[in-house]
């Protein structure tokens, strides 16, 4: 009895161990698969965030603009270009090297199905005169009680071609009135936009002058400088030759250009012309933009309570 009991207990323990081993193997495989999926998702997110948007181009102007800009993202999975020169304007955006804007659609002849000729098309008339002869209209039966005047009226109505309900032509006065209304509405909309822009400018200036917002304004200027320095090309050379025709205004613009270039750290070369009115430029550039850096600065700005309160004051003023 003891021998049989020990054998039975040994068989049950072995089955339990086999079941536990299988369960642990299934959980191990499931965990490895989930860990691989999560790891691939994290790698994909990091690749999207840390991959920079690379761009390069050249801007030239000597009486006529000549602009050429190219950009790519995620190892040229997304790419595009913009060209503006004497021949006109060209632009394209590609995904996996396939154009999204300049798609060449097939002609209508290729899209239409070829139809086989029917039996009536293959039949030829015996004489060409019979082929072009018009069918005679059916004769109308005239009732006996109709008078001659009524008969003439019906003939005149039958001869008149059906009218296609032509639109009434506008008079010159109405056309001038429509043009005047369009111009008035355009001026009204533009005046409202300018008024709103001036109101917003006054709000911003009043909030900037407030002593309580000095810290938030300084933080915003520093953040704006960082963003512009990151977005602007790392490798560039800005050559400008300009003149306004007035030596005084030319000198003022020259000082503003060098002050702005020194604030942003630009490689600026300006050749002023104090005699003639001219403007020429040649700007080759190359740079990149990191999405992760911009998101980091956006999060920092959102967590700054003083800066966000300053933005809310401008919006709700």
pLDDT of residue 185: 84
pLDDT digits 0-9 by tens, 72-114 = 999 889 999 999 988 888 999 999 888 888 765 444 444 444 4
Residues in the chain: 317
DSSP class of residue 10?
H
Q: How far apart are CA 237 and CA 225, in angstroms?
A: 19
Give me the pLDDT at residue 284, please: 94
Cα torsion 190, 192, 198, 201 to 10°: value is -100
* pLDDT attached to residue 40: 95
Question: Which DSSP letter does residue 17 get?
Answer: H
268-272 and 238-244 strand pairing: parallel
Q: What count of other Cβ atoms lies within 10 Å of the Cβ of residue 243?
A: 20
pLDDT of residue 9: 53
Report helix, strand or coil for 133.
coil
Q: Kindly provide the b/e burial profile for residues 124-158, where b requires at least 16 CB atoms within 10 angstroms of the residue's own CB.
A: eeeeeeeeeeeeeeeeeeeeeeeeeeeeeeeeeee
pLDDT of residue 168: 61
What pTM, to 2 d.p., does this model score?
Answer: 0.58
| CB count in 10 Å sphere of residue 213 | 19
pLDDT computed for residue 267 by the predictor? 87
Contacts of 223 (CB under 8 A, 6+ apart): 297, 300, 301, 307
Looking at residue 154, its pLDDT comes to 54
Alpha helices in 210-245 (DSSP H): 214-231
∠ Cα 201 204 210 (to 5°): 140
Burial 246-260 (b: 16+ CB within 10 A, else e): eeeebeebbeebeee
Nearest Cα residue to 271 out of 240, 237, 246: 240
Q: Which residues of the chain have pLDDT under 70?
A: 1-13, 103-171, 173, 317
User: What is the distance between the alpha carbons of residues 68 and 83, in angstroms, rounded to a whole number?
Assistant: 5
Instruction: State the sign of the Cα–Cα–Cα–Cα dihedral 91, 93, 96, 98.
Output: negative
Looking at residue 113, its pLDDT comes to 47
Predicted confidence at residue 131, as pLDDT, reads: 41
């Amino acid at each position: 009895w003891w021998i049989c009991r020990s054998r039975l207990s040994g068989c049950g323990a072995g089955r339990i161990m086999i079941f536990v081993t299988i369960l642990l193997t299934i959980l191990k495989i499931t965990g490895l698969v989930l860990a691989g999926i999560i790891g691939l998702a994290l790698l994909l997110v990091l690749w999207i965030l840390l991959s920079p948007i690379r761009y390069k181009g050249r801007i030239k102007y000597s009486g006529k603009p000549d602009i050429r800009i190219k950009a790519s993202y995620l190892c040229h999975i997304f790419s595009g270009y913009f060209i503006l020169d004497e021949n006109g304007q060209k632009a394209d955006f590609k995904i996996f090297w396939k154009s999204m804007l300049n798609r060449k659609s097939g002609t209508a002849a290729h899209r239409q199905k070829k139809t086989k000729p029917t039996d009536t098309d293959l039949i030829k008339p015996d004489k060409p005169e019979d082929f072009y002869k018009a069918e005679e209209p059916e004769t109308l039966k005239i009732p006996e009680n109709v008078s001659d005047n009524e008969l003439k009226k019906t003939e005149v109505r039958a001869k008149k071609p059906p009218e296609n309900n032509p639109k009434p032509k506008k008079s010159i006065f109405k056309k001038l009135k429509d043009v005047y209304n369009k111009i008035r509405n355009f001026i009204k909309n533009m005046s409202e936009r300018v008024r709103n822009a001036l109101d917003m400018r006054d709000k911003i200036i009043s909030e900037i002058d407030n002593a309580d917002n000095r810290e938030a304004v300084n933080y915003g200027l520093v953040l704006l400088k960082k963003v512009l320095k990151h977005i602007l090309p790392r490798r560039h050379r800005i050559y400008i030759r300009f003149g306004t025709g007035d030596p005084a205004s030319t000198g003022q613009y020259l000082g503003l250009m060098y002050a702005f270039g020194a604030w942003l750290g630009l490689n600026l070369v300006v050749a002023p012309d104090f005699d003639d009115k001219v403007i020429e430029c040649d700007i080759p550039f190359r740079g990149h933009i990191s999405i992760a850096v911009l998101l980091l600065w956006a999060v920092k700005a959102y967590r700054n309570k003083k800066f966000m309160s300053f933005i809310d004051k401008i919006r709700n003023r």
